[in-house]
Amino acid sequence: MLFLDVKCWDIKHYQIEILLVFQVIFISVVAAYVREEHQSFSMPYFLNRPNNVTFHRGDTAVLRCAIENIGTKTVIWRRTSDPNPITIGELQFISDPRIALQKLPERKEFNLLIKDVQPKDGGVYECQVSARKKLTKLILLRVNSKPLPAAPSIFVSGTQFVEKGDSIHLVCNSSGIDNPPDNLDWFKDGIKISPDAHQKITLEKYKFTATKTLVSVLVLKHSQMADAGTYVCRSSNLDTTSVKVHILNAGSPNVKRGTSTVEEMTGTTVKLKLSLCVLLVTLVLDVLLLYQFTGDIL
Q: What is the pLDDT of residues 219-230, one digit of tens each?
A: 998 888 999 999
Identify any residues that bridge with 207 across adjacent strands, giving them in sequence order: 214
- Give the pLDDT score at 34: 44
What one-character-per-residue DSSP string does 89-127 give?
A: TTEE-S--TTEEEEEEGGGTEEEEEETT--GGG-EEEEE
- Give the pLDDT score at 208: 85
Range 154-181 average pLDDT = 88
- Give the pLDDT score at 211: 81
209 band by pLDDT with thresholds 50, 70 and 90:
confident
Q: Is the pLDDT of residue 1 over 60?
A: no
- Give the pLDDT score at 266: 42
- Give the pLDDT score at 295: 47
- Asked whether the beta carbons of 40 and 75 are under 8 A apart, the reply is no
Q: Is the pLDDT of residue 126 over 90?
A: yes
Q: Is the pLDDT of residue 85 over 50?
A: yes
Identify any residues that bridge with 102 across adjacent strands, giving them in sequence order: 111
Tell me whether strands 52-56 and 135-144 are parallel, antiparallel or unpaired: parallel
- Asked whether the beta carbons of 60 and 113 are under 8 A apart, the reply is yes
- Give the pLDDT score at 218: 93
pLDDT, tens only, 233-280? 999 888 899 999 999 986 555 444 344 443 444 444 545 555 555 556
- Give the pLDDT score at 37: 46
Percent of the chain scored above 90 by pLDDT? 41
Q: What are the Cα distances from residue 159, in Å, to 137, 221, 248? A: 61, 13, 12
Q: Is the pLDDT of residue 16 over 50?
A: yes
pLDDT, tens only, 190-202? 899 988 877 789 9
